[in-house]
Homo-oligomer: A and B are copies of this chain.
Amino acid sequence: MIKKSSPVPIYFQIEQRIREKIEKKELNPGEMIPSEREFAEKFQISRMTVRQAINNLVNEGYLQRVRGKGTFVTVKKFEKNTQRLTSFSEDMRSRGLEPGTEVLSFCSIEADSLIASQLMIDKGAEVYQIERLRLADQQPIAFEVFYMSQNLVPGLTREVAEHSIFKYVEEMGLHIVSGVQELEATTAHKREASALGIKVGAPVLYIQQISYLEDQQPLEFVKSYYRADRYKYKVEMIRT
């Protein structure tokens, strides 16, 4: 039930309770939840405490208040208040495709001024340069060039690059918290065309990504070229 003398705040216990019911579909979209006064009475707590729990759920997009009527489970929970940063593998799996990776080259180079500025490291510092071909259900979908400071993440191997670098980094205890992507349309040059199996001049979606750690330090700088015929980029937005 609800523990009043718990170190866990009462409002949070209520919040969890309701959130669970929604996620387990015990409360369905569009359905009304008990009124604030009912909750207060039932758990013998103040209505303001109930309001705090409900407020949080409203902010998270689980609930909607309607004055005079009641509080309802949101029909379309747009959890995409913010776009989630995902790895290629996560992206493919969410599309129902089996991700695959082919490492085309794995080198250690000295950062030129572009890479240095993007990664906020010294020019000439050692960085990994990894070229990978990304597959979806065994079909080439993207060609990517990846840069990361060796100083920040030592011990990266070709082996790791064949699977998920994201996962490796997170297992090292580094927390990726945010990222910025820039998308442009372009046409394939020789290198991308041959890797992706398309014609030179074919349309390609170019995505440049920088991911950041907790302390705002750049972790990786990636240039990706996606086959336009096989990849669509979807963004859900809200208007504030």
Binding site for B on A (CB under 8 A): 48, 55, 59-60, 75-76, 78-86, 176-187, 201-206, 211, 216, 226, 228, 231-240
Contacts and interface: CB of A to CB of B under 8 A. Distances in A.
A78 B216 CA distance: 11
Contacts of A183: 183, 205, 232-235
A55 B51 CA distance: 13
Nearest to A55: B55
25 contacts: A48-B48, A78-B178, A79-B178, A80-B83, A82-B82, A83-B237, A85-B237, A85-B238, A85-B239, A86-B239, A177-B239, A179-B237, A181-B235, A182-B233, A183-B232, A183-B234, A184-B185, A184-B205, A184-B228, A184-B232, A185-B185, A185-B206, A186-B228, A203-B203, A211-B239
A112 B178 CA distance: 41
Contacts of A76: 216
A236 B203 contact: no
A82 B79 CA distance: 10
Contacts of A187: 187, 201-203
Interface of A, helix, strand, loop or mixed by DSSP:
strand
Given A75-B216, A203-B203, A238 B82 contact: yes
Nearest to A234: B182
B236 A83 contact: yes
Given A76-B216, A185-B203, A206-B185, A180 B237 contact: yes
Contacts of A202: 187
A54 to B, nearest CB: 13
A207 B109 CA distance: 37
A82 B76 CA distance: 16
